[in-house]
Structure 1
């Protein structure tokens, strides 16, 4: 290359260096669901009893003030198989970022070859000429259009989306562990309530047998009392099965085989519950906190950067390169005639394929539009889940209070019916009906308390907390 051509290339390189980075710079969507006033303000259910707009703490499960639950969740976050998989995915995504960043460094190639050549006119028994070719080349990308920079930006966005997905797994694992623990305690709680019903009905059965022996009852009365006891006893194995299933689930969440479930939890009979108003924050804090929203936003940022990667292919890709080499017959190795070198800018440009590049740009732009819609969908779904969880808790709380009153009335009716029966003022059918009503009221009240405990966990799950600090 003569000096004039080399100077022309340097001037072109300097001119291209003044160009801006290809593609649009990322900015969060200005007109999206996340910026609407109704989305960032107080929740519609924030005024219900049992809630406060105080910020959600990092480790919401500590609001239960239950050391056993704290220990279970800490163990699950340390050993859960899904979380380990998410950690590995994050490490892989981080490695992709490093790979993209390595595109900015100098690349080198070392080559070497040897050959044996024999002219066709020489005799067969004569050896040929041994030659060699040794070279070292290096190139440094100038990245004048920012293709590499946009690729790094895209890889970083993808990695941050993967990290958000990993945080979402932490949220799910913590909530699932809390639900399983509540399930164990709820099964034992329900078992205790129904055993009390069985004990009450067994007392009636004993009284009926005594009355029959005294001539005041019939065999039909005894058989009906026995049927009531048997029906109530039939509910007990179901609670035991539910308890064992939740224990197996706890073991799985903690990264253990089901048979290695935590024995210390099996006897839990007190329903875990937050005894204070539940801190829920507002819509703006929810949008900032929810990992699925953050994952959607980071994916949008990554796809915006990919537009720049595609746009950069419309322009020449320039790098500075150089090479050193030795080549020639082995007999002349190391002589001045065997040495050569080159230095200058290298240009690569797929100019004839512009329709292909423009199609890729259109694909990337459409992908960004899809990501914007997905981001809005994630925000709206998060708000819907939270509002639904808050409303369900408020209504289930009202239902529990009504069922508690019904249970108190049923208990009073059973006591009155029992006294009237013992004094011969009412029939045995009335007593059985009162006891059946009491059993149903006790079961319904217990189920309502269990549902309320599960509703609390659902609220924390919808709020998306628990990933902010490592255990």
Structure 2
């Protein structure tokens, strides 16, 4: 055995010298975390101060228990969210699937050989071996593969948050649209009753000779017009109910929620807490996805660069061998080095491509941050504008209703005509629709503003978290 090691010593020595010569050739690309010079506050909120965003359950400010329960149900049963969670499992598996630098491979075989006519008779050979191989990695290639795979796990996790945020956005908007269309249906039924009342008054005045046949026909036409607007609204309401069921992971008609009960358009009762621009780095899943994608792209540069250098490995095999009646020990051991091709330029091209991909990822991160800032500013302006519009719309409805009551009284006394009453009825009908739409837009802009700052993306991320427990409790209550 000593003789064997003496014969191997020069080879091993040369091999170790080669390794030491390459240890300093690390191919790892340094990663500098991207930086963005955020302002101290949003432009639309110049006096904003740093605030810790704790409004993960911001939709509760809409004060609607049914909406709370629907979101809780969707977070548990939505299929797209379940698919996103499976992608995290896939990414973890890919991380664990990064091959190690060494391996042990046991093998065994038995062969029987017979040369007919040779006179030697059959012979049997049996052998078993344990093979070992170790790939030296002085360049840190495997480390960078692990870093890139780990970053993709974080990307997949952030994509779950993004899917959750999109789900909350879609469910909230669908519910707001449902209540809006139900409110329109209520208004149409109220308008239908009011216009029928006007028809009765017009017919009475016509019988008394106080109005014309034209006015009576006109009021009847308004009744027919209102009746034609009701069926499309009913169809739209059913369509939105189906959308809500699918978002919650249920087939249409099997959701188990009473969505036809107390119809009230949800309205925010608190101003949104939008914090400061730098909060976006923590709250917005798309920014976290972009940053981790950039990190993975930088790690891939080192992986590609390692292919420009020789690959060093140390391998061997040892095991017993039996041939006929003779037994022995068979082994081999030695280093190997593989140099890159002298004619193949593709490894250098791949390194250049990885550099380009990293630069693209960095620019994508900056673009994502800018888009996020734009989203918050636009959503903030839209929310402020819709809040002012809804207040004006409420005042308009109140004044038109007062004018309608005064006109109806004047018609009875003969100081106003049926045409005047019809005009006030039309004004009220239009003002009611405008108000319902403004309330709807106020709710949607409140949702959009919270979504744009990433609030709620971590809700229900862990089943045992206090937030998840609170959502589950809301679902039980409703």
Q: How high is the TM-score relative to the length of structure 2?
A: 0.88
2:100 maps to 103
Rounded to whole Å, the distance in 2 between the matches of 1:446 and 1:164 is 36
Where in structure 2 are the equivalents of 1:213-228 lying within 5 Å?
213-228=207-222
2:3 maps to none
SS at match of 1:244: helix
Is the CA contact 2:28–2:139 (under 8 Å) kept in the aligned structure 1?
no
Give 1:297 deviation, angstroms. Answer: 0.8
Is the CA contact 1:143–1:149 (under 8 Å) kept in the aligned structure 2?
no
1:297 maps to 291
Rounded to whole Å, the distance in 2 between the matches of 1:45 and 1:53 is 16
Rounded to whole Å, the distance in 2 between the matches of 1:203 and 1:364 is 75
Is the CA contact 2:379–2:445 (under 8 Å) kept in the aligned structure 1?
yes
Rounded to whole Å, the distance in 1 between the matches of 2:387 and 2:228 is 29
1:21 maps to 26
Structure 1, unmatched stretches of 5+, are none
| 1:92-149 alpha-carbon deviations (Å, 9 max, x no partner) | 001101111x424x412222334444457626xx744333343210123332111111
Where in structure 2 are the equivalents of 1:451-462 lying within 5 Å?
451-462=441-452
Q: Which of 275, 290, 297 does residue 269 from structure 2 map onto?
A: 275
| 1:312-343 alpha-carbon deviations (Å, 9 max, x no partner) | 112223334331133462332xx2xx312234
Give 1:20 deviation, angstroms. Answer: 5.7
Give 1:61 deviation, angstroms. Answer: 2.1
1:36 maps to 37
2:62 maps to 64
Give 1:468 deviation, angstroms. Answer: 1.9
Rounded to whole Å, the distance in 1 between the matches of 2:387 and 2:459 is 31
Give 1:277 deviation, angstroms. Answer: 1.2
Is the CA contact 1:48–1:394 (under 8 Å) kept in the aligned structure 2?
no
2:471 maps to none
Is the CA contact 2:267–2:439 (under 8 Å) kept in the aligned structure 1?
no
Q: Which of 195, 208, 230 does residue 224 from structure 2 map onto?
A: 230
How many residues in Structure 1 have an aligned counterpart in Structure 2? 455
1:80 maps to 78
Where in structure 2 are the equivalents of 1:158-307 lying within 5 Å?
158-307=152-301
1:92 maps to 90
Is 1:444 aligned to 2:434, yes or no?
Answer: yes
Q: Which of 10, 16, 22 does residue 10 from structure 1 map onto?
A: 16
2:338 maps to 348
Q: Which of 340, 357, 362 does residue 347 from structure 2 map onto?
A: 357
Rounded to whole Å, the distance in 2 between the matches of 1:232 and 1:263 is 30
SS at match of 1:21: coil
Give 1:261 deviation, angstroms. Answer: 3.0
Is the CA contact 1:119–1:128 (under 8 Å) kept in the aligned structure 2?
yes
Once structures 1 and 2 are overlaid, which stretch shifts more, 409-418 or 218-227? 409-418
Report the CA distance shift for 1:469/1:432 in structure 2 as closer, same or farther (over 3 A): closer
| 1:178-214 alpha-carbon deviations (Å, 9 max, x no partner) | 1222222222222223322222222211111222223
SS at match of 1:235: helix
Give 1:268 deviation, angstroms. Answer: 4.0
Report the CA distance shift for 1:290/1:344 in structure 2 as closer, same or farther (over 3 A): same
2:45 maps to 46
Give 1:76 deviation, angstroms. Answer: 0.6
Structure 2, unmatched stretches of 5+, are 1-6, 461-467, 469-478
Rounded to whole Å, the distance in 2 between the matches of 1:354 and 1:277 is 63
Report the CA distance shift for 1:319/1:167 in structure 2 as closer, same or farther (over 3 A): same
SS at match of 1:461: helix
Q: How high is the TM-score relative to the length of structure 1?
A: 0.89
Q: Which of 310, 315, 322 does residue 309 from structure 2 map onto?
A: 315
Is the CA contact 2:44–2:381 (under 8 Å) kept in the aligned structure 1?
yes
Root-mean-square deviation (Å): 2.5
SS at match of 2:304: helix
Rounded to whole Å, the distance in 1 between the matches of 2:245 and 2:136 is 55
Once structures 1 and 2 are overlaid, which stretch shifts more, 86-95 or 268-277? 268-277
